[in-house]
Copies of this chain bind each other. A is one copy, B any other.
Amino acid sequence: MAESKVLSVLREPTLQTAANCVRQALAQHQCILLLGECEVEYHGRARSTLASGERIVLIKTDGAVLVHRPTGYEPVNWQPSDCRFRTRLENKSLIIDAVHSEPHESLSVHFANVAVFVAARLSDIGEFNLHVSEREMQQAVVAEPKLLLPDFRPISFEKQVEPGFIDVYGLDSEGRLVVVELKRVNAGRAAALQLSRYVAYVKTTTQKKIRGILAAPGLQRGTQKLLATLGLEYIHVDLERCARVVSSQKERKIVDFLM
């Protein structure tokens, strides 16, 4: 823990001190954490006001701003990256304005007091990896077609047709065309209807028998009935198996598996 690192921590600084430190940290593009009582105003794509309360304000190195209340996932107010800042003292308040262009938006935070000020230069190059995205499901199905059907032979993926992109497209053991719509989560009516549109389109292009398959870890209520009405099928896909296939095949290119 060699701490030659840039890091300032102030507990209950005066507003004047806080203002100076915020200015300096902004100039050096450090990350800033402020904990204190504040009001917030926003003008831009919408408008909002937030009455006084104790919050956590985070200003990031790219000029993004987040104002967090003590509960919940979402910031109550925020500003996207690439803001320009102005910091000033006015009427016994520390005011930080964050102004964004294109679209033009402005966020104004008025601190009545600052309980904690933290500024730091953070070094973060750690890779983030999300497993089993919809794309990876697709890769898994193309790489291991038996995840879908025994003897399924994929022909293409992300095939562009008039109504959109067919996730996976191939032939079953009896030579019928198979149109597959993949969903990473339980599939609902929208997915069934989208599949239906793809199947309808493909029917106009060939004389062959066509199967429309909605492949997902599960179905939302009522979707099974809709599929039956539309003459489509549901196939359960095991996300765990997809994840294993994807990780084991990661080095190979997806296109290698096509006919």
Contact = CB atoms under 8 A, between A and B. Distances in A.
Interface residues of A, number: 59
A129 interface: yes
A126 B52 contact: yes
A50 interface: yes
B54 A122 contact: yes
A55 to B, nearest CB: 6
A131 B48 contact: yes
Interface in A9-54: 9, 11-12, 31, 33, 35, 39, 45-54
Interface in A169-217: 184-185
Interface string A110-135: 00010110101011111111111100
B58 A68 contact: yes
B133 A49 contact: no
Interface stretch (A69-77, A145-153, A155-163, A218-226): A69-77
Contacts of A53: 122-126
A122 B128 CA distance: 31
A64 interface: yes
Residue picked from A33, A120, A124, A131, most chain B C-beta under 10 Å: A124
A78 interface: yes
A32 to B, nearest CB: 10
Interface string A93-118: 00000000000000000000101101
Interface string A51-67: 11111101011101010
B70 A124 contact: yes
Given A7-B116, A115-B120, A132-B47, A62 B52 contact: no
18 contacts: A9-B11, A9-B116, A31-B56, A33-B33, A33-B118, A46-B133, A48-B129, A48-B130, A50-B128, A50-B129, A52-B126, A53-B122, A53-B124, A54-B122, A60-B68, A62-B70, A62-B71, A118-B118
Query: Sorted from nearest, which 9 A-B pairs have the closest CB atoms?
Result: A53-B124, A51-B126, A53-B126, A62-B71, A54-B122, A70-B122, A47-B131, A48-B130, A61-B70
